[in-house]
């Protein structure tokens, strides 16, 4: 009884103290412009992928390597499944833009036509607005799909039962970079086996004689 | 001990049951909370415009009147009235030669309309003088371009009219500009003036054209810091005809940069560093491009205003 009484009073006092500390923190943050401890959310309707196109880099010196242009583009609320879209996004990752366009043109999926439109739009944007010299000198650096906002409908079952059906939508994001695509080193089974054996051989027994 | 027990009892009141039973309000649970979700009906008949209007009127819903307005800016005119036509070979003849001197004196005395305009401007603005104005105007020009490089919107709006602002700023938002005014090769001179009035008769605007011969450097970098045009270390001699404007009737009006006149005989500008595709002629299946001997059309040499 006594123990529980002490804890209750203590907890209440601690709660009140916490509140005062938090209010003091909030008071101090209102005067400062940036507070690292508080989570600041961005404004409504702020789409991050589109904003990546608005980054301005400082001018380069003459001896520096020419920075490759990066163009971000996306399409929102496509009437397609994100999982089905993923297969196409994975297909064109790392390809040059012309190769990707040919692959998508002869692919039978519904998402292929949409992705092709998105990539052509991005290419046009790159040449007009982002100072890209040759429109074929681009490759797909990043390409992925995300879940969009689903609409819900009723799916009627037997015996008066129903289910809620999701009308799926997805977003598709692509990043084009100027230049030649980086070569991905293909590792053979033999190389992997060799590495494994080396790892086994590099093991040591600590605190041994 | 007793006081502490009282205080703890105050905290623990809801949990500890005492022998004294106070009348509690009766809570009768009614199932009013919505626990299911019905998606919105899809096969709703689309109402036509008239049906929607009658329904809205019956319900008492008033839609506010839509004002289709287009804002007009009266602090500056929309263009350059009666523009100055710079004579050919203006920059070629030096002022010190006899011919050059003759040309200069002719130009300034010639236009009676300019003299009239100067008199009108002096009526409204007491501090205007043809001798001091060029230095002031050149300073405005330098400040405006410096503000453009820093992209200081407020300062730029005070130094540049609303007609000139989009021309200066368009396309430059995600680019870096580096501009430097090195020196002035000839003292700037007023060559032309006009006083148009807009809409109503007394609403006077003064437009004065200034001839500036100077040395400047310009380098434009794109979004990624790569050089698009120009060179930061290479100064160029530039002959420009600047037009400054002021709303004379407004007591708070100021002389601001209104535009530039590019003469018809001006040398062509440097091309940008990257290669650009120009759309060519559409070929029929049997034709070949090399056989057509296509000449890229050159633009006509016409005076235009920037």
A189 touches chain B (CB under 8 A): no
- For A131, the closest of B8, B178, B226 (CB atoms) is B226
- Taking the CA of residue A37 and the nearest CA in chain B, the distance in Å comes to 32
pLDDT of residue A155 exceeding 80, the answer is yes
Architecture of domain B98-262 in CATH?
A: Roll (3.10)
What residue in A sits closest to B171 (Cα-Cα)? A129
> In terms of CATH architecture, what is A68-179?
Alpha-Beta Complex (3.90)
Eight-class DSSP state of B204: B
What is the rounded end-to-end Cα distance, in angstroms, of chain B? 90
Measured between CA atoms, the residue of chain A closest to residue B43 is A153
How confident is the model over A182-202, as pLDDT tens digits? 999 999 999 999 999 999 999
Whether A25 and chain B come into contact, CB under 8 Å, resolves to no
Answer for the pair B114, B193: CB distance below 8 angstroms, yes or no: yes
**What residues of chain B lie within 8 A of the CB of A57, using their CB?**
223-225
Nearest-by-Cβ selection for B223 from A130, A152, A154: A130
User: Does the distance separating the beta carbons of A131 and B228 come in below 8 Å?
Assistant: yes
Judged against a pLDDT cut of 90, whether residue A168 lies above it is answered with: yes
| CB-based burial, B16-55: b 16+ in 10 Å, e otherwise | eeeeeeeeeeeeeeeeeeeeeeeeeeeeeeeeeeeeeeee
Tell whether B175 lies on the interface with A, counting CB pairs under 8 A: yes
Q: Residue A7 pLDDT > 60, yes or no? A: no
Contacts of A112 (CB under 8 A, 6+ apart): A88, A104, A105
Asked if the model's pLDDT at residue B97 lies above 80, the reply is: no
> Within 13 Å, how many C-alpha atoms sit on residue A198's CB side?
6
In chain B, whose CA is at the least distance from the CA of A154?
B39
pLDDT digits (tens, 9 = 90+) for B160-209: 999 999 999 998 989 999 999 999 999 998 988 999 888 888 888 999 99
A9 and chain B: CB distance < 8 Å anywhere? yes
Distance CA B188, CA B207 (A): 16
CA distances to A12, B6, B16 from A3, rounded to whole Å, are 14, 16, 15
Q: Which residue has the higher pLDDT, A4 or B65?
A: B65
DSSP structure class, residue B21: -
Q: Which of A148, A24, A138 is nearest to A83 (CA)?
A: A148
- Per-residue pLDDT tens for A17-63? 444 444 444 444 344 444 455 565 556 668 999 999 999 999 999 89
pTM beyond 0.95, yes or no = no
Encoded tokens for B219: 């380098």
Asked if pLDDT for residue B292 goes beyond 90, the answer is no
Of B240, B104, B105, whose CA–CA distance to B185 is shortest?
B240
Sorted by sequence, the CB contacts under 8 Å of residue B144 that are 6+ apart come out as: B156, B159, B160, B168, B257
B221 to chain A, any CB pair closer than 8 A? The answer is: yes
Residues in chain A: 209
Q: Return d(Cα B50, Cα A100) in angstroms, integer.
A: 50
Domain boundaries of chain B, sorted by first residue: 98-262
A8, A69, A70: residue with CB nearest B11: A8
Please tell me the distance from the alpha carbon of residue B232 to that of residue B220, in angstroms, as a whole number. Answer: 9
């Amino acid at each position: 009884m006594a123990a529980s009484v002490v804890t209750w009073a203590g907890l209440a006092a601690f709660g009140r103290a916490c509140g005062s500390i938090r209010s003091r923190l909030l008071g101090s943050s209102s005067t400062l412009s940036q507070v690292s401890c508080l989570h600041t959310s961005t404004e409504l309707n702020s789409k991050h992928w589109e904003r990546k196109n608005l980054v301005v880099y400082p001018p380069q010196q003459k001896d520096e390597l020419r920075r490759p242009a990066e163009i971000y583009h996306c399409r929102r609320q496509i009437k397609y499944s994100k999982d089905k879209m993923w297969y196409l996004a994975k297909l064109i990752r790392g390809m040059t833009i012309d190769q990707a366009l040919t692959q998508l043109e002869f692919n039978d999926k519904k998402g292929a036509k949409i992705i092709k439109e998105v990539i052509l739009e991005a290419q046009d944007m790159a040449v007009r607005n982002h100072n890209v010299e040759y429109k074929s000198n681009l490759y797909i650096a990043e390409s992925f799909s995300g879940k969009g906002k689903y609409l819900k409908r009723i799916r009627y079952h037997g015996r008066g039962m129903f289910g809620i059906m999701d009308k799926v939508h997805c977003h598709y994001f692509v990043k084009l970079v100027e230049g030649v695509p980086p070569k991905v080193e293909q590792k053979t089974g033999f190389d992997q086996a060799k590495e494994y054996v080396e790892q086994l051989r590099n093991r040591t027994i600590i605190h041994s004689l | 001990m007793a006081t502490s027990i009282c205080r703890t009892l105050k905290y623990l009141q809801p949990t500890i049951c005492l022998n004294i039973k106070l009348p509690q309000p009766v809570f009768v649970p009614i199932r009013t909370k919505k626990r299911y979700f019905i998606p919105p009906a899809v096969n709703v008949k689309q109402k036509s415009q008239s049906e929607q209007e009658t329904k809205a009127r019956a319900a008492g819903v008033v839609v506010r009147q839509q004002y289709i307005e287009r804002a007009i800016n009266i602090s500056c005119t929309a263009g350059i009235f009666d523009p100055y036509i710079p004579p050919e070979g203006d920059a070629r003849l030096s002022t010190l030669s006899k011919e050059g001197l003759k040309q200069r004196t002719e130009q300034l005395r010639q236009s009676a309309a300019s003299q009239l305009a100067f008199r009108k401007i002096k009526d409204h603005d007491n501090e205007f003088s043809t001798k001091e104005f060029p230095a002031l105007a050149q300073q405005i020009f330098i400040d405006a371009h410096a503000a453009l490089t820093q992209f200081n919107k407020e300062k730029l709006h005070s130094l540049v009219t609303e007609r000139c602002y989009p021309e200066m700023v368009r396309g430059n938002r995600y680019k870096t500009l580096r501009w430097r005014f090195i020196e002035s090769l000839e003292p700037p001179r007023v060559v032309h003036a006009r006083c148009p009035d807009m809409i109503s008769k007394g609403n006077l605007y003064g437009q004065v054209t200034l001839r500036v011969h100077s040395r400047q450097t310009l380098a434009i970098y794109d979004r990624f810091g790569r050089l698009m045009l120009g060179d930061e270390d290479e100064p160029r001699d530039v002959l420009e005809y600047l037009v400054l404007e002021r709303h004379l009737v407004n007591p708070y009006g100021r002389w601001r940069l209104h535009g530039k006149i590019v003469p018809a005989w001006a040398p062509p500008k440097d091309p940008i560093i990257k290669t650009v595709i120009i759309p060519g002629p559409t070929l029929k299946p049997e034709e070949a491009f090399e056989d057509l001997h296509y000449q890229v059309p050159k633009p006509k040499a016409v005076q235009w205003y920037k």
